[in-house]
Amino acid sequence: MPKYREDIRNIAIIAHVDHGKTSLVDVMLKQSHVFRENQEVGELIMDRNALEREKGITILAKNTAVLYRDHKINIIDTPGHADFSGEVERVLNMAEGCLLLVDSTDGPMPQTRFVLQQALEKKLKPIVVVTKMDRPTRRIKEVLSMTQDLFLELATDDFQLDYPVIYSSSRDGFAVSDPDTAGTDLVPLFECILREIPPPEIEDGPLQMLVSNLDYSSHKGRIAIGRIRRGAVSPRDSVVVINSTGENKRYQINEVFTHLGLARQEVDRADAGDIIAVTGLDAVNIGETIASPERPEALPGITIGEPTVKMTFGVNTSPLAGREGKYCTSRQIRARLYRELETNISLRVEDTDSPDVFLVSGRGELHLSVLVETLRREGYEVELSKPEAITRTVDGQVMEPMEALTIDTAEECIGELTEMLAKRKGRMTNLHHDGNGNVRLEYHIPTRGLIGFRSSFLTATRGRGVMNTLFLHYEPWQGEVGSSRSGVLVASQSGTAVTYGLNNAQERGLTFIDPMTEVYEGMIVGLHARGSDLAVNVCKEKKMTNIRSSTSDISVRLTPPIKLSLEESLDFVEDDELVEVTPKNLRLRKKLLSAHDRKRSEK
């Protein structure tokens, strides 16, 4: 007869990006009174990482907990972006149920399908929460119908089709079971969780726990997070860590923590069913089992989908290398990349033939660019190649990753987008008009066709479009993808850019730099108006004559330069170019800096 911990519920909150997961967790925390009355907590409480707040997305899965009617509800907030789906895959095994959030206007989106499929395969009990009920554009009937179709397609058990539906608005702080009634608080949601989500099943016997997440503290060292499947654990207990090959290593637990609100609370004992954090295990990794030495039995490991995009990280070799970063050597970069593998299990790092270059593979451009931005803020200097799709060879045939692309935009953008996607080997699978001038386009497209597409997409839709992607499967090579980028303006001399030189360059295209920017030969300073690359001297000054002084160009008005972000820079570069990343600057450059070397390589 199985035993259960009736005082605990473990739930994961899953949804497509921007469907309100973190906002709902905010309201749950505030209404469960885990904060003091006068405590300033702000918005998006769980997104504590600076990058998460800047980008407005959740990047890392996080644990919190609330108390409601003598029950502890452990909550796992997960990312919604497809590039961080590895975070979702590894934390779902800590939960018995999930809240699937669906936007009351958008309905299920590509990532909704992925996270729901993951949850249903792990036999989680779902509760559907229709969010953003305060929106005037809500269309509840259609959204519920689309959600039902999704469940019918993905459910693996009959009980998963019998799901309750809650309607909520995080902005107004309410949840109701009937969309036509007014709500005042989240009590209906809390009651539904206690009623519908099964309590954790527990086993008698010595300790057994799977590590699902890692944290790090400069004071406490590595912190292992997971759910106790069997037994109990206390500080100073002896345990063994069992790795993927079955090897055992003995440790002593230093501290045991449980979660409540944003804090970790130190406890003298944690029992089966609790989601805990423990310290004292210096070399533990995600997917390993912490067990009692009496019965060192391993739990099934965590399986994660394979990466689809790769690019090289190398030591900065430009003439300006080492001036702006603290960590510039191959030894420092290699150590940091391999340290990232401990917590970022969707990532792969390989050494290459060159000791100064490392091949890094991830789930998408955003996944890799977040890693680069993190390194940059820590003081690293690196040189990046253009992202490439990872191909496989099956029975002598080259296979490449395909993605589902969903675009919501205005009707007048259809023509231009269709033409762009056709060049990138995209196949339209669906076109839906909403009757108000908006359309949804659905495509199957090679991953390499999406590299560099985002910036062109924003230009084509004039900022009025939203695109989402999701990895589907591998298909045979789709043929060459046409490039829509024109040539570039390349600095022909090293020095400091001046207004006169930049003004001459702007007659031939668009520039990327301001006057007084230090440049070097081979650095990309702009976009050429034609298809070929052009060498320009942006350091050229106007010489003094007996008619005009050399400072007369002060009155020249330059067109403001285009400033590319990190993601845009990675989209922009071609195979013979690199992105130089330092804590202070992003520079684009040719792999071969000398014009003579570039001409010789073309021959």
Q: Does residue 523 sit within a domain?
A: no
Does 358 score more than 60 pLDDT? yes
Per-residue confidence (pLDDT) for residue 466, from 0 to 100: 81
> In sequence order, which residues have a C-beta less than 8 Å from that of residue 478 and are 6 or more positions away?
400, 425, 446, 449
Q: Which residues are documented as binding site?
A: 18-23
Q: Give the pLDDT confidence score for residue 254 in this predicted structure.
A: 92
Quick one: pLDDT band at residue 129, thresholds 50, 70, 90?
very high
- For residue 286 the two structure tokens come to 């995600």
What CATH number should be reported for the domain holding residue 91? 3.40.50.300
User: Which among 235, 267, 291 is the end of a domain?
Assistant: 291
Residue 552 confidence class, pLDDT cut points 50, 70, 90: low
Q: Quick one: 410 and 435 in the same domain?
A: yes
The whole-number pLDDT of residue 471 equals 83
pLDDT at 239 over 80: yes
Q: How far is CA 166 from the centre of its chain?
A: 28
Note the pLDDT of residue 361. 92
The answer to whether the beta carbons of residues 242 and 293 sit under 8 Å apart is: no
My answer on whether 180 and 233 are in the same domain is no
Q: Tell me, what's the pLDDT at 41? A: 46
Count structural domains, the chain.
3
Cβ proximity of 539 and 496 under 8 Å: yes
pLDDT band at 246; cut points 50, 70, 90: confident
- 505 domain-assigned: no
169 belongs to a structural domain: yes
* Structure token pair of residue 373: 């931005």
- Which of 177-186, 381-390, 402-411, 542-551 has the weakest average pLDDT? 542-551
H-run or E-run covering 372:
helix 365-377
List, for residues 562-575, the tens digit of each pLDDT value: 888 888 888 888 88
The whole-angstrom separation of Cα 172 and Cα 131 is 11
Query: Which residues have a Cβ under 8 Å from the Cβ of 573 and sit 6 or more positions away?
Result: 385, 386, 579, 588
Q: What is the percentage of the chain residues whose pLDDT exceeds 90?
A: 24
- How much is the average pLDDT of 294-312? 85
Q: Is the pLDDT assigned to residue 166 strictly greater than 70?
A: yes
Is the CB of residue 90 less than 8 Å from the CB of residue 62?
Answer: no
- In DSSP terms, which residues pair with 211 in a beta bridge? 226
- The alpha carbon of residue 593 and the mean position of all alpha carbons in its chain are separated, in whole angstroms, by 33
pLDDT reported for residue 331:
94
Taking the whole predicted model, whether its pTM rises above 0.85 is answered as no
| 501-532 pLDDT, tens digit each | 888 888 888 899 999 999 999 999 998 888 88
Pair (195, 229) in one structural domain? no
Lowest mean pLDDT among 32-46, 552-566, 574-588: 32-46
Average pLDDT of the chain, as a whole number: 84
Residue 447's DSSP bridge partners are none
| Stretch 127-138: mean pLDDT | 88
Q: Which residue has the tokens 């921007």?
A: 18
Confidence label for 434 from pLDDT (cuts 50, 70 and 90): confident
Q: At 356, is the pLDDT very low, low, confident or very high (cuts 50, 70, 90)?
A: very high
Q: Is residue 114 a part of any domain in this protein? A: yes
- Name, in order, each residue with C-beta under 8 angstroms of 291's C-beta and a sequence gap of 6 or more: 206, 207, 208, 209, 239, 240, 241, 242, 297, 298
Largest CA distance in the chain: 102
| 77 shares its domain with 185 | yes
pLDDT of residue 60: 65
- Are the beta carbons of 444 and 404 closer than 8 angstroms? yes
- pLDDT score for 304: 74
Residue 299 has pLDDT above 80, yes or no: yes
The sign of the dihedral angle between the CA atoms of 65, 275, 79, 54 is positive
For residue 24, which of 155, 197, 173, 146 has the smallest C-alpha distance?
Answer: 173
44-91 pLDDT, tens digit per residue, is 445 455 665 555 566 666 788 888 888 889 888 887 666 666 777 778
Q: Which residues are annotated as a binding site for GTP?
A: 18-23
The pLDDT score that the predictor gives to residue 490 is 92
Q: How confident is the model over 461-502, as pLDDT tens digits?
A: 887 788 888 888 889 988 887 666 788 999 999 999 998 888
Residues 75 and 25: beta-carbon distance below 8 Å: yes
Same domain, 181 and 234: no
- Structure token digits, residue 232: 């109990």
Residue 408 has a pLDDT of 86
Tell whether 422 is covered by a domain: yes
Is 241 found in the same domain as 179? no
Give tens-digit pLDDT for 360-416. Answer: 998 888 888 889 989 999 999 999 998 988 888 888 888 999 988 888 888 888 888
What letter represents residue 530's amino acid?
R
Mean pLDDT of 281-290: 86
Cα separation, 479 vs 381, whole angstroms:
35
- Would strands 397-410 and 466-476 be described as parallel, antiparallel, or unpaired? antiparallel
Mean of the pLDDT values across residues 534-540? 90
| 587 compared with 453, residue with greater pLDDT | 587
pLDDT classification of 38: cutoffs 50, 70, 90 = very low
* Percent of the chain clearing pLDDT 70 (strictly above): 91
Angstrom distance (rounded) from CA 594 to CA 592: 6
Query: Which pLDDT belongs to residue 27?
Result: 84
- Could you give the CA distance from residue 245 to residue 251 in angstroms, rounded to a whole number? 18
Tell whether 414 is covered by a domain.
yes
CATH code of residue 232: 2.40.30.10
- Among 273, 291, 309, the domain boundary falls at 291
**Per-residue pLDDT, 52:** 54
Are 216 and 223 within 8 A, CB to CB?
A: yes
The helix (run of H) or strand (run of E) holding residue 419 is helix 414-423
- Residue 36, domain extent: 3-200
Per DSSP, the three-state class of 93 is helix
Distance CA 23, CA 286 (A): 28
Residue 95, CB-side half-sphere exposure with 13 Å CA sphere = 36
Which residues contact residue 129 at a Cβ distance below 8 angstroms, ignoring those fewer than 6 apart? Answer: 24, 99, 100, 101, 102, 165, 166, 167, 168, 175, 189
Radius of gyration in angstroms for the set of CA atoms belonging to the chain, rounded to a whole number: 27
Are both 163 and 77 inside the same structural domain? Answer: yes
